[in-house]
Amino acid sequence: MRPQPEKPIEARGKVLGGPRPLVCVPLVGKTRGEILAEAENIPAIAPDIIELRVDAWEFVEETAASVSMVRDVRNSVGEIPVILTCRGHWEGGFKKVSDEAKFALYREAAAGALVDFLDVELAYGDEKIRKTLRMLEQTSVSLIVSFHDFEKTPSKEVLFSTLAAQIRAGAHVAKLAAMPRSEEDVLALLSATLMIRREYPDIPLITMSMGGIGAVSRVTGGLFGSDLTFAVGSKASAPGQIPVAALKQCLSVLHPRES
């Protein structure tokens, strides 16, 4: 059995931290029409969970329009769990989005039970993360604290300390993605994931090595403690993502009893 967290998170019948890593498909459309088309295709793709990348939205600065869009996606995908992500432009976001718009949307979507996870970057610091956690106290929404490096992979020790910092900051889920420059970088990412799983056994993890070299981590990461992997639905949100059908087939080989 793969190394699982002792306190998995259940959302709408899916378990983050269960026997098999969840497969997540990002929705990266820019216009209402593109987003709805992606959402309408989700039942046919049948991922475990979806990620709404609202930093791609043309209207993301308009809170009312954005909340309405999230609600429409929720209605379209039914009971599939949703991660709401407005990725900072400094960590690979599609464009610069004001913090006012980002956190206003987060607050409204969480209060309305439209989503199941919010993603906030570790770079915001402990105070902002604690404020977000307080905002979520009366909701069923879980907080992902994340870090992304699209240029390189830090050392195993830095990867470990970054994930540990996310957990210490109060993350319900710790997430880290890095770009490898060598095969050794992929091994460092997987090793740091396993180290964190053993050192902090309660918290679900999401880790990946990006790009072509790192694609193997999207298939095998669950064996080292990563509880979710991203796949391509309509369009990739990061380098190295694998088409959802192919990824599901690979996971069924690695986790045959739970497939």
Distance, CA of 104 to CA of 115 (rounded, Å): 14
> Per DSSP, what are the bridge partners of residue 177?
148, 208
CB atoms within 10 A of CB 228: 26
CB 225 within 8 A of CB 257: no
Give the C-alpha distances (Å, rounded to integers) separating 255 from 18, 48, 73, 75, 150. 11, 15, 30, 31, 29
User: First and final CA of the chain: distance in angstroms?
Assistant: 13
Tokens (6 digits) for 192? 């740091």
* Gap between the Cα atoms of 153 and 192, Å rounded: 11
Q: Which of 102, 156, 172, 175 is catalytic?
A: 175
- For the question of residue 89 being annotated catalytic, the response is no
Half-sphere exposure of 160 (CA within 13 A, CB side): 14
**Could you say which of 14, 102, 148, 172 is catalytic?**
148
Active site residue 175: yes
Residues belonging to the active site: 148, 175
